[in-house]
Structure formats: C-alpha cells, structure tokens
Amino acid sequence: MKGILSLICFSWAVACLALEPAQEEQFSIFVPGRLCLFGEHSDWAGQYRATNPNIEKGYAIICGMNQGHFATVKRHPTDFIFHICSQRDIRTIHMDESSLLKEATSNTLYSYVAGVAYQMHKKYLVKGLEIHNTASTIPLKSGLGASGAICVLVAKAFNQAYNLHLSPKEEMEIAYLGEITAQSSCGRMDQACAFGNRPILMSFDGDNVDIQELDVGKDLFFVIVESGGTNDTKEILASLRECYPKAENSLQEAVQRYLGPINKEIVSQAAQAIKEGNAEKIGTLMRHAQAQFDLNLIPACPEQLAGPKLHAILNYPPIQQYIYGGKGTGAQGNVCVQFIAKDAKSQKKIIEIIENTLSIPCLPLTIPAERCSDK
C-alpha cells in the first residue's frame, strides 16, 4: 500500500511540475507579422468545405517578416496583465474563465489577448501572466497579420512561461481559438507567424489545416509597400462570403473559381518556384494572380477591391526595371502591395525610389536560401 501511495504522490508531483513555469524571471519574446505571398482569402473559403465538399481546398504560402511585436513576460500568481506599448493604460484581468471571457467579448482593444488567455486557462489550467508589449514594428491594418501576431505572442508567452511544450501548430490553434472567442471573423492563415520567418505552404479543408515548410533554393528579395490607402475588411469579407457555400450566379461562381482551382494551381506553381529559388517565375505568378483576382473578385465588392492606389503602385514606371512582378496582399484593396525584386541591389533601389518620389514607407523582406532538413 505504501508503494502505491508513493507512486501516486510521485505521479501527482510530476503533473504539477508540468505546469510550473520554465522561466522564473522575466524573459523576452518576439513574434513576427506575416506576409501572404499567395492565396489570400482561401483560408476562410476552404472552411466552407465542411458544408459543401464540392468547394476546392484553400491553399496559401505564408512567410514571417522581420517586423512584429516585442514583449517582456513574467508569470503572475492570480492575474492576466497586458500592456500595449501604444497605450497608457495597463489592463489587469483576474485569471478565471468568467473574467477573461467577459473581456474577450467586450469589443475592446484587449479582446483578442483576453480571448487567448481564456483558451489557455480553459485548456491548460495555467495561472496568471504579465506581458508588456515593449515595441511593435509591424504596421497595423495593413494586411500583415498584426492582430494574429499579438494572439500568437500571448500563446507563446504562456507556452514558454509554463513549460507546456506546445508545437507551433498547437500555438496557432490556441491563438485562432482566442480570436474566435473575441468574435473575430478571421481565417486560419494569420497565426502562421508561429512558424517564424520561413515560408510555409498551408492547406485549408474545413477545420483541418495542413502545414508544410518549404525549401528555398536561392535568396529571394521582396519589398512590401504600404500604399497609404484604406479598406473595409469587414465589408470585403461580408461580400465575398455571400458567394458561399453554394454559388447561385455567375459572379459567385467566379469568386469560388478563383479562390478554388485557380488559386490551387497558382500556389502549387509558386511553391515549386520557391523551392527552386526562381524569382522570375514567382514574379510572373504574382502578376497572374493579381490579374485573376481583379477579373474574378473585384466585381463582388468593387468599391473596396478596385484598389486604384494599389494598381498605381504596381504599375509605377520607375520601378519596373527592378522587379519581376507584384501583387496586393492581405484582404487587398488599397492597403498593401508586395513586389519581388530581381536581386538585393534592386530591392534597395525599389525602396529608395518609392520612399523618395512617392513618400510611401516600404519594408524589405529577404527570404534566405534554406533547406528544411538544415534546421
């Protein structure tokens, strides 16, 4: 009997240690934003396969950026404390499900982070955490996954502080559930920043998400341009979602065709081009993707998706000799443009021209040559 009791006590001690923080003191964390190289909108579109299996799976290629959210983290015995660097107030929420859920559904600036904390507490029974977002270098409302990155940051912070041993995919899932708890209509690609700054191929089949890390054959040089315009993402999503789960007219058929088989073919070719390091092919596919997007999706929401600023930047004459191609990103519209440059010198030249002549800020993104097996 004593042996059995000893074994039970030992097992209980091991279980308790699993939730003990790996970090006794304050530690730092960084989560990047994400660039959707190809496949925007296909994540939520692929989810409709749960009700209409005739819809094609969604496919996207995502890569983390150099810009993102920085934070310091330390555990707290009773509360979830979060401070956003751009705000003067510090939000303190008692670490219980009802308090966290109330904040998550309050439609405040802290709803998303409270939603993730709620999911963490519900699933893993973690105690409190204090997170100070010390800096954010990712532009907000630019289609670069700023909200998804902040949710992944919270998931990673709990994971590291409480030694939960979650994989990046599990962190993604918690971050996604946190956003849904906060009543977001986001798809599942935003949380791909959990994988860091290497490109990944994602497929979306109902609620199932498959992820494949991609080899990169040669260094690839991108430029991200904040067009300075705005769009109404909620209106875009509402208009496009009207085309699902079953298309009832030619306009809706066109939307499903682009986000389905057309997108599948483009993403498949793009994944191969990335593996080969073929920047010229990637640029050609970007031009093709944008042309097909314009043809098939703009009619569904013309006021938001026509994107005159986006197209003016894409076709800006002084930079054409330095690029292989470009396209919109995020929800599209007038917000953000991406180019693939011919080389590192061309990348610098594009940024110089656009910032000096158009006074529009740019972000460089270099994806280094790398094989998955090397990591």
- Tell me, yes or no, whether 140 and 265 share the same domain: no
In a domain, 22, yes or no: no
- Tell me, yes or no, whether 209 and 250 share the same domain: no
- Tell me, yes or no, whether 358 and 254 share the same domain: yes
Share of the chain above pLDDT 70, in %: 90
| Domain boundary residue, one of 149, 183, 213 | 213
- Tell me, yes or no, whether 205 and 269 share the same domain: no
- Tell me, yes or no, whether 59 and 129 share the same domain: yes
Q: What is the CATH number of the domain that holds 59?
A: 3.30.230.10
- Tell me, yes or no, whether 197 and 175 share the same domain: yes
In a domain, 8, yes or no: no
Per-residue model confidence (pLDDT) at position 17: 42
Tens of pLDDT along 86-114? 777 788 999 999 999 999 998 887 899 99
Give the separation between CA 369 and CA 215, rounded to whole angstroms. 8
In a domain, 20, yes or no: no
Close Cβ partners of 190 (under 8 Å, ≥ 6 residues apart): 34, 145, 147, 148, 149, 151, 176, 179
HEC string of 143-187 equals: CCCHHHHHHHHHHHHHHHHCCCCCCHHHHHHHHHHHHHHCCCCCC
CB atoms within 10 A of CB 289: 23
Least confident piece of the model among 59-63, 233-237, 260-264 = 233-237
Q: Are 304 and 236 in contact (CB under 8 A)?
A: yes
Query: Does the pLDDT of residue 9 top 70, yes or no?
Result: no
Query: Does the pLDDT of residue 189 top 70, yes or no?
Result: yes
Per-residue model confidence (pLDDT) at position 13: 44
Q: How far is CA 133 from CA 152, 184, 334, 374, in A?
A: 13, 21, 28, 32
Give the separation between CA 251 and CA 300, rounded to whole angstroms. 7
In a domain, 7, yes or no: no
In a domain, 2, yes or no: no
The verdict on whether omega for the bond into residue 32 sits within 30 degrees of 0, i.e. cis, is: no
Q: Are 143 and 329 in contact (CB under 8 A)?
A: yes
Closest CA relative to residue 224, chosen from 322, 337, 128, 98: 337
More confident residue, 13 or 357: 357
Q: Output the six-digit token pair for 345.
A: 């010198």
- Tell me, yes or no, whether 254 and 289 share the same domain: yes
More confident residue, 372 or 77: 77
In a domain, 115, yes or no: yes
Tens of pLDDT along 31-45? 888 889 999 999 999
Per-residue model confidence (pLDDT) at position 86: 75
| Domain boundary residue, one of 170, 197, 213 | 213
Tens of pLDDT along 236-279? 889 999 999 999 999 999 999 999 999 999 999 999 999 999 99
Give the separation between CA 348 and CA 217, rounded to whole angstroms. 21
Least confident piece of the model among 4-13, 215-224, 351-360 = 4-13
- Tell me, yes or no, whether 185 and 254 share the same domain: no
Burial class (CB within 10 angstroms; exposed 0-12, middle 13-18, buried 19+) of 211: middle
Torsion of CA 182, 105, 140, 266, to 10 degrees: 20
Tens of pLDDT along 121-168? 999 999 999 999 998 887 766 667 788 888 999 999 999 999 999 998
**What's the pTM?**
0.83
Report DSSP state, residue 56.
P
Query: Does the pLDDT of residue 11 top 60, yes or no?
Result: no
Determine the average pLDDT of the residues in 220-242: 86
Query: Does the pLDDT of residue 52 top 90, yes or no?
Result: yes
| Domain boundary residue, one of 168, 184, 213 | 213
Q: Output the six-digit token pair for 297.
A: 């999706």
Q: What is the CATH number of the domain that holds 286?
A: 3.30.70.890
Q: Which residues pair with 203 in a beta bridge?
A: 59, 210
CB atoms within 10 A of CB 47: 21
Q: Are 310 and 276 in contact (CB under 8 A)?
A: no
Query: Does the pLDDT of residue 193 top 50, yes or no?
Result: yes
Domain limits for position 350: 220-370
Q: Are 130 and 75 in contact (CB under 8 A)?
A: yes
Identify the three-state secondary structure at position 322.
Answer: helix
Residue whose token pair is 């986006």: 310
- Tell me, yes or no, whether 341 and 239 share the same domain: yes
- Tell me, yes or no, whether 185 and 303 share the same domain: no
In a domain, 19, yes or no: no
Q: How far is CA 218 from CA 38, 186, 242, 304, 367, in A?
A: 18, 32, 41, 36, 8
Q: How do strand 199-205 and strand 208-213 relate by DSSP bridges?
A: antiparallel
Q: How many domains does the chain have?
A: 2
Query: Does the pLDDT of residue 223 top 90, yes or no?
Result: yes
Tens of pLDDT along 294-353? 999 999 999 999 888 899 999 999 999 999 999 998 778 767 899 999 999 999 999 999
Close Cβ partners of 240 (under 8 Å, ≥ 6 residues apart): 41, 45, 255, 259, 297, 300, 301
Q: Output the six-digit token pair for 8.
A: 């039970």
- Tell me, yes or no, whether 208 and 224 share the same domain: no
In a domain, 5, yes or no: no
- Tell me, yes or no, whether 99 and 169 share the same domain: yes
